[in-house]
Amino acid sequence: MTTPAPASPAAGRKINRINLEVAAYRGGRTTLCAGCGHNAISERIVDACFEMGVQPERMIKLSGIGCSSKSPAYFLGGSHGFNAVHGRMPAVATGALLANKTLLPIGVSGDGDTGAIGAGQFVHLMRRNVPIVYIVENNGCYGLTKGQLSPTADAGSALKNGVVSGLPAMDLCALAVQLGATFVARSFSGDKKQLSSVLKAALAHRGAALLDVISPCVTFNDHEGSTKSYAYVKDHADPLGEITFVPFFDDISVEYDPGSSIAVTLHDGSRVVLKKLDDKYDPRDKLAALALLHESNQRGELATGLIYVDPAKPSFVDLLNVVDTPLSFLPEAQTRPGREALADIMARLR
Partner 1 sequence: MASDVVNDFSIQVATVNGSGSQTANLVLIRSLFQMGIPVSGKNLFPSNIAGLPTWYTIRANWRGYIARKKDVDILVALNPETAREDVLALDAGAAVVYDAALKLDEVRADLTFYPVPFDELVKPVCPDAKLRRLVRNMIYDGVLSRLLGIDLAEMDRALEKQLGRKPKALALNRAALAAGDAYAAEHLSKADPFRVERMDATRGKILIEANAAVALGAMMAGVTVVTWYPITPSTSVVETLIDYMKRYRVDPETGKATFAIVQAEDELASIGMAIGAGWAGARSMTATSGPGMSLMAEFSGLGYFTEVPAVIIDVQRVGPSTGLPTRTSQGDMLSTAVLSHGDTKHIMLIPSSAEECYSLTMKAFDLAERFQTPVFVMTDLDLGMNTWMADEFPYPDAPLDRGKRLDRATLEKLPDWGRFMDVDGDGIPWRTVPGDGLPAYFNRGSGHNAKGQYSERAEDYTSLMDRLARKFETARRAVPPEVVDEVAGAQVAIAAYGTSHWAVEEARGQLAAEAGLATSYIRLRSYPFTQAVERFIDRHARVYVVEQNRDAQMLSLLKLDLTPGQVGKLRSVVYYTGLPIDARSISDEILAQEREARQRARP
Applying CB under 8 A, the residues found at the interface with partner 1 are 1-4, 28, 56-58, 60-61, 72-73, 77-85, 88, 90-100, 102-103, 120-121, 123-124, 320-324, 326-330, 332, 334-337, 339, 341-342, 345-346, 349-350
The dihedral of CA 128, 133, 139, 142: what is its sign? negative
**Closest distance between partner 1 and the C-beta of residue 324, in Å?**
7
Nearest to partner 1 of 83, 261 (CB atom): 83
Nearest to partner 1 of 167, 322 (CB atom): 322
- Given a contact cutoff of 8 angstroms between Cβ atoms, the answer to whether 210 and 185 are in contact is yes
Spell out the residues 6+ positions from residue 290 whose beta carbon is closer than 8 angstroms to its own.
Answer: 174, 177, 178
**Closest distance between partner 1 and the C-beta of residue 73, in Å?**
6
**Closest distance between partner 1 and the C-beta of residue 130, in Å?**
10
| Rounded-to-integer distance, Cα 169 and Cα 296, Å | 13
Q: State the DSSP string of 279-316.
A: TT--TT-HHHHHHHHHHHHHTT-EEEEEEEE-SSSPPT
Nearest to partner 1 of 277, 322 (CB atom): 322
Nearest to partner 1 of 98, 290 (CB atom): 98
Q: How many CB atoms lie within 10 A of CB 105?
A: 23
Q: Locate the DSSP E strands across 22-166.
A: 59-63, 80-83, 104-110, 132-138, 141-142, 148-149
**Closest distance between partner 1 and the C-beta of residue 36, in Å?**
17
| Rounded-to-integer distance, Cα 57 and Cα 280, Å | 42
Nearest to partner 1 of 96, 209 (CB atom): 96
| Rounded-to-integer distance, Cα 262 and Cα 239, Å | 15
- Given a contact cutoff of 8 angstroms between Cβ atoms, the answer to whether 183 and 212 are in contact is no
Nearest to partner 1 of 11, 349 (CB atom): 349
Q: Rounded to 5 degrees, what are φ and ψ at 159? A: -80, 170
Nearest to partner 1 of 73, 246 (CB atom): 73
For 301-316, b/e burial (b = at least 16 CB within 10 A) is ebbbbbbbbbbeeebb
Spell out the residues 6+ positions from residue 258 whose beta carbon is closer than 8 angstroms to its own.
Answer: none
**Closest distance between partner 1 and the C-beta of residue 48, in Å?**
19
**Closest distance between partner 1 and the C-beta of residue 12, in Å?**
28
**Closest distance between partner 1 and the C-beta of residue 182, in Å?**
19
